[in-house]
Structure 1
Amino acid sequence: MTPVELSRTVLRAVRRAVEEGELSVAVPARAVVTPPGLGGRGDYATNIALQLAGPAGRPPRQVAEILRPHISRTEGVSDVEITGPGFLNIHLDGAATTALVRSIQQGAQHGGQPGFQQAYGHSDSLLGEVVTLRIPYDIRAEVVADALVRIIGSQGGRVEVEHAEPVNLRPVPAPEDPAPLGPDAARWALLYPAAHDRPRITADHLVQRASNPLFRVRYAHARARALHRNAAALGFTSTPGDVREEDTREGAREVATALAEYPHALAHAAAHRAPDRLARHLVAVADALLAFQHTVLPRGEEKPSAAHRARLALAEAAGTVLAGGLSLLGIDAPEHL
């Protein structure tokens, strides 16, 4: 279950509470659902009760108590807790992660071919929309526009790039020629910073250590592929399932959360003409996977179990998302690194 789906779930809960006479408020247009902050619990949290408390003339915790059972009855939600002044903390059950992984797998298998499921994160939200990008003769503008052709295309839109006035896409130019970094590092150096930030054209983009975000993203993808190969050598393959057992629950949650938020990050990158949003989200997916990867394979004499198959499926799904995101940026996702 993605944050967008949970947002709809929360709004349906408000609507039911209004229809049943428990609350007297106007149903808001949107409900913000995010990973829980400091002191929060579960997979996601929403402040909808605090938002509605004033219009409802009730304390936030009382509003939260009214909404809690409506959200709890939703398929895929295992529990809802109330914390602080009235935050609703939502726990997802294993079925939600299983469905998420299967969705990513199916999108990867069919690749958005006609008649099949779209690649994960791709949508028709911009279907029929033609975006004209007028750019200066500048290498960074060219690279950003090239990435946006694919990113906006992933949402169903089409991009026409022109060198004409008035310019409507003018990222801060690079201080020097990025070509010596090589094609992949050069593209990352130009795409990772926000358009209003000056890119750094330094050898830091080439170092293979954790301080380099590009290395972490590409290394995480290579690790996902290595886990797949190592599991095959041990005689087992992945099967989507519940990865929320106690010893890996936290790490699995971080990976699942990052994957669930990928479509939102991709849609925002398209809508705001900001490939940096996609690049930064790939770093979040990579960091979650790298922290989780050590739990995937059996250790010592341990035999592969259903839990190992489920963890492997989650890691492979993360690798699929990393490869897809890098491809949209025009950057290679290596099998070995």
Structure 2
Amino acid sequence: MTPADLSRTVLRVVRRAVEQGELRGDVPERIVVERPRPGGRGDYATNAALQLARPAGRPPHEVARLLADGLVREPGIAGVEITGPGFLNLTLEDDQSVVREIRAAGLRYGHAADPTGQVFQLHFRRELRAAVWCDALRRILRAQGALVRTTCEERVPEAWAPLGLHIDAYGTPPAPGLPFTAPVPAPEQTVELGPDATRWALLHPAAHDRPRLTADEHLVQIETNPLFRVRYAHARTHALTRNAADLGCTAEPGPVPAESGKPLQAALAEYPRILAQAAEHGAPDRLARHLAVVADALLDFQYDVLPQGDEKPGAAHRARLALAEAAGTVLAGGLSLLGISAPEHL
């Protein structure tokens, strides 16, 4: 169950309570469901009861108990706990609906199913980071179903060609472009790190942070290098598939009886929301940082995937392998939207 699915589930329970006269007030258009904050419980949390308490004329804790009674009867929800003044903490059943969705969608997981009809024009100045930022944003907006046109005030240097920038026209556009936060310029206007490391160095920091294009930070294969972790995690998913094939084990979605798999499942479920936010806020850095979250969760989980010692492959191993392969798909798809390659060997 993805956060969007869970939000719709909470909204359905609220609507039912209003229709049955158990709760007074209008049904909100949207219910926010998010990961618990530090110290929180469960897989997800929502402040829906606090949001509804005032219109209902009832204490938040009382509204929370009412919603909790309805939520525990919903498929996919294993438990609901009320904390604080009325926060609902939701624990999901250990299912593989997200993995199945990723396997069905492939690299298009998190993309819009159909064109939205939205048309955007991205205009940027002749500056390296602005060019890469707009190119990544173009890819993300297109993934969300929009049509996008990119323009630059003047022609970019030939030296930037390896970055694979897509520019539809040069000069001043006749109409205003999509408003987005112009990122802090790069200190160097070179691609000496290579296209992948250069793009990552310019896209991973937030727009207000000054990027660093240094070899010791982006080319060295060490744990402190997030690009290395992301690409290494992707390569590890392919290694797990190869090693599993040697054991006669193939991936098959199912329950994952490993506590270390929960953070990875949650990160994969969050991916569509992160893509939508990156498009809405003109912030490809959000996608880059979430890929690091997925990678770190996969690297923690990898040791639980295959049999150890004389252990024979079973249903649990096939389910874990399916989860790991889903992570590889998300990492490859996310890197592609950033214009960065995802090698199978590293």
TM-score, structure 1 as length reference:
0.91
Alignment partners' CA distance in 2, 1:285 and 1:18? 38
Alignment partners' CA distance in 2, 1:139 and 1:10? 44
Preserved CA contact (<8 Å) 1:126 1:152 = no
Alignment partners' CA distance in 2, 1:225 and 1:85? 46
User: Are 1:226 and 2:239 an aligned pair?
Assistant: yes
Cα deviation digits, residues 124-173 of structure 1 (max 9, x gap): 57622111011111111111122122111111111111124467553221
User: Are 1:326 and 2:335 an aligned pair?
Assistant: yes
**Counterpart residue number, 2:198:** 186
**Counterpart residue number, 1:270:** 279
Preserved CA contact (<8 Å) 2:127 2:189 = no
2:143 aligned to which of 154, 162, 175: 154
Alignment partners' CA distance in 1, 2:301 and 2:325? 12
Alignment of 1:153-302 (within 5 A): 153-164=142-153, 165=172, 168=179, 170-203=182-215, 204-243=217-256, 245=257, 248-249=258-259, 251-302=260-311
**Counterpart residue number, 1:121:** 110
Preserved CA contact (<8 Å) 2:254 2:316 = yes
The runs of 5 or more residues in structure 1 that have no matched partner are 112-118
Counterpart of 2:120, as a letter, is: V
Alignment partners' CA distance in 2, 1:315 and 1:69? 34
The runs of 5 or more residues in structure 2 that have no matched partner are 154-171
CA shift in 2, pair 1:288/1:178, >3 Å: farther
SS of 1:300's partner is coil
Preserved CA contact (<8 Å) 2:291 2:331 = yes
Alignment partners' CA distance in 2, 1:85 and 1:5? 25
Larger deviation, residues 218-227 vs 166-175? 166-175
Preserved CA contact (<8 Å) 1:259 1:321 = yes
Cα deviation digits, residues 87-140 of structure 1 (max 9, x gap): 212121133xx11101101111xx6xxxxxxx2100157622111011111111
- Cα RMSD (Å) of the superposition? 1.6
Counterpart of 2:104, as a letter, is: Q
**Counterpart residue number, 1:140:** 129
Alignment of 1:98-117 (within 5 A): 98-108=96-106
SS of 2:100's partner is helix
Counterpart of 2:144, as a letter, is: Q
CA shift in 2, pair 1:214/1:3, >3 Å: same
Preserved CA contact (<8 Å) 2:102 2:329 = yes
SS of 2:192's partner is helix
Cα deviation digits, residues 254-293 of structure 1 (max 9, x gap): 1111000100111111122211111111111111111111
Report the count of equivalent residues: 322
Identity between Structure 1 and Structure 2 (%)? 63
SS of 1:240's partner is coil
Counterpart of 2:236, as a letter, is: R
TM-score, structure 2 as length reference:
0.89
